[in-house]
Amino acid sequence: MSDSISSNEGYRDYGFANQAPTHMHRHFLPALFKLCPELTHGTRVLDVGCGNGYTVGKFLELGCEVVGVDLSESGIALARKSYPKARFEILPANEQILDNLREQPFDLVVSTEVVEHLYSPREYAKGCFKALRPGGRFICTTPYHGFLKNLAIALTNQWDTHANPLWDGGHIKLWSRNTLGEILRETGFENLQFRGAGRIPWLWMTMAMAGDKPKNQ
């Protein structure tokens, strides 16, 4: 998980201090793995915006072959040290992910708490789509926004804290189930599945959405 953007221009390193999970991992990881296809030894996984590699480590424990990309030099340095069995590269989350890696397409692409930081989410979505083999699955997590949660934030006067514009490298796009689903369908994903995570239903802290690349593409 990282605040990777779709190009190096204007990027501000997240500044990972250690290999520990963030406070968000305990919320999105259960939803992420519920949406995963069957994971067998050798399943090829790409983590787009891998941060310090913590999520990569969870897939390694299951016998997967994993590649992680991120713009954070501090994150990639920690990931390489902590998970030497995986490949990590400093790369932007753009349409050329697979070409830049010079890898074969992956069975599964995951991207956790990244899309809310991106100036060009369509370019990112296309890159994740291209990085998948036909029939492969993409799973994305991002903070949840919907009517009841937005209303609760407004009624408690928390918008300045929740979406603080003074946070350099912070969230620049707020996604709902509908808008996240729209960009995935627009990109070409099908069979969309949704899971809310953290807190109670409709006030979820974050959400996960999966989509499959058609088998004929």
| C-beta separation of 47 from 72 below 8 A | no
Angle, helices 54-61/25-35, rounded to nearest 10 degrees: 40
CB-CB neighbours of 76 under 10 Å: 23
* Domain annotation covers residue 8: no
* Domain annotation covers residue 136: yes
* Domain annotation covers residue 10: no
C-alpha to C-alpha distance for 145 and 193, rounded to whole angstroms: 17
Residue range 92-119, pLDDT digits in tens? 999 999 999 999 999 999 999 999 989 8
Residue range 118-158, pLDDT digits in tens? 989 999 999 999 999 999 999 999 999 999 998 998 999 99
* Domain annotation covers residue 12: no
- Residue 47 maps to which CATH number? 3.40.50.150
* Domain annotation covers residue 131: yes
* Structural domain boundaries enclosing 30: 25-212
Residue 88 — φ and ψ, nearest 5°? -130, 135
Q: From residue 12, how far is each of 142, 154, 164 by CA, in Å?
A: 19, 29, 16
Domain count, the chain: 1
Residue range 165-216, pLDDT digits in tens? 887 777 889 999 999 999 999 999 999 999 999 989 999 999 999 999 999 9
